[in-house]
Copies of this chain bind each other. A is one copy, B any other.
Amino acid sequence: MHENERHRIILSFVEEKPVATVSELVALTESSEATIRRDIATLHMQKKLRRVRGGAESINPPQFVGLAGRTYSVNEGINVSKKRAIANAAVQLCDDGDAIIINGGTTTSQMVHPLAAKRMQIFTNSFPIAEHLLNHSKNTIMLSGGIIYREQNIILSPFENDVTRNFYAKRMFMGAQGICAQGLMEADPLIIQAEEKLINQSEELIVLADSSKFKVRSSLILCALERITKIITDDSIRDEDRTMLEDAGVDLIIAKETAQMQQVAG
């Protein structure tokens, strides 16, 4: 058996177990312990797996660590105070008794804190949002079903059978990776899929996006600007972007970090 062939077998096996032992891999590849150890050492150097005494373990997936988790940490730090102001403005659009949909994301996650004081019906596909609201609020929580993707922190079903179809709310809140004339943009196909499942389940589509998002373009278009009811952003938005939104008929809400907010007609 060729080295590469063994490596592939080893890597696929390692994914299936908490820790794959040397003897298991010996049996699987019908080679000697020495060979397996050399393979493991090589793959360890290549960071394809982690060598541990007794065998090897998978290097991924990263542990899921909730709202302030590591997988989000890259984005978490950016513009937190602006995101918080935007999230606050979003929650101010809601009243007790309302039913809303919240799509998972770093900006929408900030909504959980002001939502803790509310008494609403909240449907979400974000496990950490549900977790937080369940433990820290009295809201009624409804969750989409499916596989929990740890990286993206969303619950997504590959099937058509999905309670998502049974929920309809006046307002849906979502984030975005980028906004331009083409529409809302995302980079991760999984997130696109999750958002597409939800996007027609509400009357108003409210997008939470700090002003930096207007510079970002990604590879995947989620929906046209015209579909959006409101965009909540911060006061650093450029005039040209403001005009772009006006042309598309999108309401623009500027969230002030001073907790005051100002509405501009669109």
Closest to A146 in B: B163
Using Cβ atoms and an 8 Å threshold, which residues of chain B touch A141?
147-148
Closest beta carbon of chain B to A233's beta carbon, Å: 28
Is B5 within 8 A of A18, CB to CB?
A: yes
Question: Would you call A256 an interface residue if the criterion is a C-beta within 8 Å of the partner chain's C-beta atoms?
Answer: no
Is A65 within 8 A of B135, CB to CB?
A: yes
Question: Would you call A138 an interface residue if the criterion is a C-beta within 8 Å of the partner chain's C-beta atoms?
Answer: yes
| Count of A interface residues, CB-CB < 8 Å | 52
Question: Would you call A203 an interface residue if the criterion is a C-beta within 8 Å of the partner chain's C-beta atoms?
Answer: no
Is B163 within 8 A of A117, CB to CB?
A: no
Residues of A within 8 A of B (CB): 2-5, 8, 15-19, 21, 52-55, 57-58, 61, 63-66, 96-97, 117-119, 127, 130-131, 134-135, 138, 140-148, 150, 155, 157, 159, 161-166
A-B contact pairs, 25 of them (CB 8 A): A2-B21, A3-B52, A3-B53, A5-B18, A17-B97, A18-B96, A58-B138, A61-B138, A64-B135, A127-B130, A127-B131, A127-B143, A134-B150, A140-B147, A141-B147, A142-B146, A142-B147, A143-B145, A143-B155, A145-B146, A145-B162, A146-B163, A157-B166, A162-B162, A163-B163
